[in-house]
């Protein structure tokens, strides 16, 4: 029985590590939220909406694409434009994003209340 519980804990730990590997960082979940909720965006639009530097955005988008969470489309325009979209697979993270929104809102309110009463 003990080994079974230990194996389940290890499996859960690996699952959390895998999730954090994919969505780790300050920007990825926010970028996914923008693309899932607001649809396809051009690179410059993401820079403005996410308030992120182009260099960091490029790196984050490459990692999200590598993990099958977004698609990149080079448009045949002059000048060339690049559009990014959430994949259907990325929508599997909506439950996680929604939970983070709820938790983050509550946390911000608790911290603000604690400092207001200090």
pLDDT tens digits, one per residue of 87-117: 999 999 989 888 988 999 999 999 999 988 8
Residue 84 has pLDDT above 80, yes or no: yes
Nearest one of 70, 66, 67 to 42, comparing CA atoms: 70
Residue 74 has pLDDT above 70, yes or no: yes
* Structural domain that includes position 64: 2-116
If pLDDT is split at 50, 70 and 90, which confidence band does 57 have? Answer: very high
Q: What order of strands is seen across the sheet that includes strand 81-86?
A: 41-42, 81-86, 70-75
Q: Write out the DSSP string of 45-90.
A: HHHHHHT--HHHHHHHHHHHHHTTSEEEEEE--SS-EEEEEE-GGG
Q: Which of 10-24, 36-50, 58-72 has the lowest mean pLDDT?
A: 10-24
Report how many domains make up the chain. 1
If pLDDT is split at 50, 70 and 90, which confidence band does 34 have? Answer: very high
CATH classification of the domain holding 21: 1.10.10.10
Residue 1 has pLDDT above 70, yes or no: no
Q: What is the pTM of this model?
A: 0.80
């Amino acid at each position: 029985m003990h080994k079974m519980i230990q194996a389940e804990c290890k499996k859960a730990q690996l699952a959390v590590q895998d999730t954090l590997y994919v969505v780790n960082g300050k920007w990825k979940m926010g970028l996914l939220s923008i693309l899932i909720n607001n649809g396809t965006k051009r690179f410059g639009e993401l820079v403005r909406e996410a308030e992120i530097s182009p260099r960091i955005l490029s790196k984050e988008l490459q990692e999200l694409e590598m993990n099958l969470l977004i698609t990149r489309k080079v448009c045949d325009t002059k000048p060339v434009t690049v559009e990014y979209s959430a994949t259907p697979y990325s929508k599997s993270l909506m439950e996680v994003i929604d939970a983070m929104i709820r938790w983050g809102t509550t946390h911000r309110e608790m911290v603000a209340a604690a400092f207001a009463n200090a």
